[in-house]
Structure 1
């Protein structure tokens, strides 16, 4: 492990790999000295920015995702780009963090890795565990849908439905993982957060954005992208930081609510209800760290309604990009922020598309499907 871990809240430092500080907050790696060298993959191009050397021969091709120019930008009056994370190996951004974290687990001698998840992260950890030849322990809630569980178990991992308080499961998994020798790669694992820095690095290679919109649940993705841009700025590889905007669903927006109310700490969001299930975390473990970043850098947090999310998802599909509802929140927020004057006309805006719509097919709104006999096909085609 290169460098040391420190707590962004209390400042305590650690020389050995841990996941959370004694004060209860998530830890992260300190900035490493040195500049990246030019090489083939993002893992190689930004070699000096990773806390460990990734196991490149076991990569599934995660990262280096396309930055797509969106036609919606013309309609909205901005230069809009979409960072398409749906093309990662298991169809979500989670693969970036999983690959780096499993690389560490392998080097550290673990025989099993695990995570607490009912969706993207569970599938990602299960897939990479199989790739690395490790056992996977995936803990899901008792009411997790059969379709989601099947998508996780297909990779061969040990999927366990856990009865009880799902909110407590995160912390219980870390405790039992240490006892049983299972390295749990949960939402804000420090290696996972480091892997997400690659999104910022890749954006900066192509563009100097004014705004970056990030669907935000546990807060790990936001922290990773923020850390990536900050490290680029501190190494004088970019001149200015973009304005980062955390986006949440109105039906579960503990970070935005605390931000709006001027609180220093988040509070549990009671009775979460939104179609954007992938970001519906009522008590995000990195929530306080995200709040600190928002205030320190003058960044923003915005919540969008289910109606706005559905409209944005439909518009993205009209451009050939089928994303899950959580991924569409950024586009919903762009429109809202332009209308309120926060984002000005002509701005360069990047929205992160976090996961594929193929993961949420039962909730997808399909278009019209007509029936036609072979004899009347010409008429139907007309």
Structure 2
């Protein structure tokens, strides 16, 4: 399959499917051809490949075949905390435990289709793990660029797929721009956070949401935001559904940031159309490390998505994130990483502000499992200790 590339802002078209950004500076996405696609046209296959007709690659081999197809669950127990009718789209059910598998499932095969022998990425978290796993499943070498201060836990998670891991000193955020030029002189395809093929994979999450709820539709969708890539994919998916007649009214799109690094929130609140990068002095530490992005490369597009859908961007504190993470687990039964807990924290704040009402249906998208996260929970866990002989007596005292 092939498609031209288009800039969301200026409308410029490109035939080069390996290009990432427009001459105007904004990221590109695939110009999905017009089609008469309906839900009944989806082939009887699992996961995101039900929507193959709307993707730039045919169903590939490897673990990409199992990507997507995550459950959308009505979670009444979270209604009181959220202040609305809650549905949870649990992206932690993907192969490597995060929504990144949707992007890798399209981007890695697409890069190989365009002649790449070596796949690379810039990440020290879920995208690194996902890219390495998908490259390994297709027999391709993978190079992962990580910051020099990366933790041993994350290194272990990435290293299990045996990519080449390069720790890079200096301004790690500036590596995004560096990476875009690497393929000009090296035989490598660097799949950055907003690579157009990744965006195509991400949009399938919204296809699944709407097909699962049809003929009902959600009033709002809430998700974490870091680079703005996932938000771009969700927006692209909504626009695709609108253009083919499967969506008559856009849901409000709400994005949630950590207060430690919230350039999108600041831009939204001041009415700016583009975010201003935060300096190191303006950026704090956070348990939601995977969304602590002071300079989101797709920030302008994410802000456009929010404004077109009459949504908002909000920031939440680490305390609010921890509370939401606990509520996800105790009330909903979901284990989510700190960044993935932010949609619940964000919707709670939005409900308190009156922007979301109790009778509205809202889809929360926790983006990654909590089972990979070590050291972010409550270290002072209380337990009961007893002998086998005294066990019945102890349980009797607890259960009475």
> TM-score, normalising length from structure 1?
0.96
Name the residue aligned to 1:332: 345
Alignment of 1:131-146 (within 5 A): 131-146=137-152
User: How many residues are aligned here?
Assistant: 382
Matched, 1:176 2:182: yes
Name the residue aligned to 1:284: 296
Name the residue aligned to 2:370: 357
Mean CA deviation greater in 75-84 or 343-352: 75-84
Name the residue aligned to 1:64: 69
Is 1:357–1:364's contact at 8 Å kept on the other side of the alignment?
no
Is 2:5–2:29's contact at 8 Å kept on the other side of the alignment?
yes
Name the residue aligned to 1:308: 320
Name the residue aligned to 2:31: 30
Deviation at 1:74, TM superposition (A): 4.5
Is 2:59–2:65's contact at 8 Å kept on the other side of the alignment?
no
Query: Can you give the 5+ residue segments of structure 2 that lack an aligned partner in the other structure?
Result: none
The CA distance in 1 between the partners of 2:81 and 2:327, in whole Å, is 11
Is 2:64–2:101's contact at 8 Å kept on the other side of the alignment?
no
Post-superposition CA distance 1:108-144 (Å, at most 9, x none): 1211101000100000011111001000000000111
Matched, 1:317 2:329: yes
The CA distance in 2 between the partners of 1:273 and 1:329, in whole Å, is 16
The CA distance in 2 between the partners of 1:244 and 1:31, in whole Å, is 21
Matched, 1:259 2:268: yes
Alignment of 1:229-248 (within 5 A): 229-248=238-257
Deviation at 1:60, TM superposition (A): 4.9
Point out 4+ residue stretches in structure 1 off by more than 4 angstroms: 74-77
> TM-score, normalising length from structure 2?
0.92
Deviation at 1:6, TM superposition (A): 1.3
Provide the secondary structure at the position in 1 that maps to 2:261. Answer: coil
Q: Which has the higher contact order (CA 8 A, sep 6+)?
A: 2
Name the residue aligned to 2:57: 52
Deviation at 1:77, TM superposition (A): 4.4
Mean CA deviation greater in 16-25 or 150-159: 16-25
* Superposed CA RMSD: 1.5
Is 2:121–2:128's contact at 8 Å kept on the other side of the alignment?
yes
Is 1:113–1:134's contact at 8 Å kept on the other side of the alignment?
yes
Name the residue aligned to 2:7: 7
Query: Can you give the 5+ residue segments of structure 1 that lack an aligned partner in the other structure?
Result: none
